[in-house]
Amino acid sequence: MGRYARAIDRGQFALLRTVFHADGYDDHGPYKGGVDGFIQWLQERFTDEAPMQHFLGNSLIEFANPDLALAETYYVAARPPKGGEVRQGGQGSGLYVLSWGRYVDRFERRDSEWRVAYRRTVVDLRLQAVVNVLPGSDASNWGRRDAQDPLSIARAEIFGRD
């Protein structure tokens, strides 16, 4: 689940592939289909570098057998305005999208690896809110969706790769 949040929030679509089995299916509401199509749909929707944030909450995992599990994981997701005018330490106002919901996942273990075989995103509440963004700390501390994100820099320093 943590890999999913990081992949979506940082725009790391190769990492997103490791969340699902190759034949995995995602029902995200407006998008329903395989992993390749899901990634393409995300890339078309989120074209700028403004980071999103998914906060994962309670997770209940129920095992049907040693290779099959059902998981329900709560999330809160925030997406900043498009265009970048109120990010990277800037000021201003813009329309934020806030969502609360759950991921209902069928996890399967194949070749000793657990991945999502089927995901349904359940939206419990979704809001759009005009917010005034306060000036932030030094811009180098702001999250990004590229190799200059502080986590990507730290991973490169420690592991020699992102």
Query: Over the stretch 151-160, which tens digit does the pLDDT of each residue have?
Result: 888 989 999 8
Average pLDDT over residues 126-148: 74
Q: What pLDDT, on the 0 to 100 scale, is given for residue 48?
A: 65
Q: Output the average pLDDT for the chain.
A: 87
Q: What pLDDT, on the 0 to 100 scale, is given for residue 71?
A: 97
Q: What pLDDT, on the 0 to 100 scale, is given for residue 138?
A: 62
**Is residue 122 over pLDDT 80?**
yes
**Is residue 10 over pLDDT 60?**
yes
Q: Are 35 and 26 in contact (CB under 8 A)?
A: yes
Structural fold of domain 2-135: Nuclear Transport Factor 2; Chain: A, (3.10.450)
Cα 5 → chain centroid: 4
Query: What is the rounded CA–CA span in Å between residue 100 and residue 1?
Result: 16
Q: What is the pLDDT of residues 21-78, one digit of tens each?
A: 999 999 999 999 999 999 999 988 876 666 788 999 999 999 999 999 999 999 999 9
Please state whether the predicted TM-score (pTM) of the whole model is above 0.85.
Answer: no
Read off the DSSP letter of residue 87.
-
Query: What is the rounded CA–CA span in Å between residue 111 and residue 106?
Result: 16
**Is residue 88 over pLDDT 60?**
no
Return the closest-CA partner of residue 31 out of 15, 42, 17, 18: 42
Helix spans in the chain (H): 2-10, 13-17, 35-45, 150-159
**Is residue 16 over pLDDT 60?**
yes
Q: What pLDDT, on the 0 to 100 scale, is given for residue 132?
A: 72
**Is residue 3 over pLDDT 90?**
yes
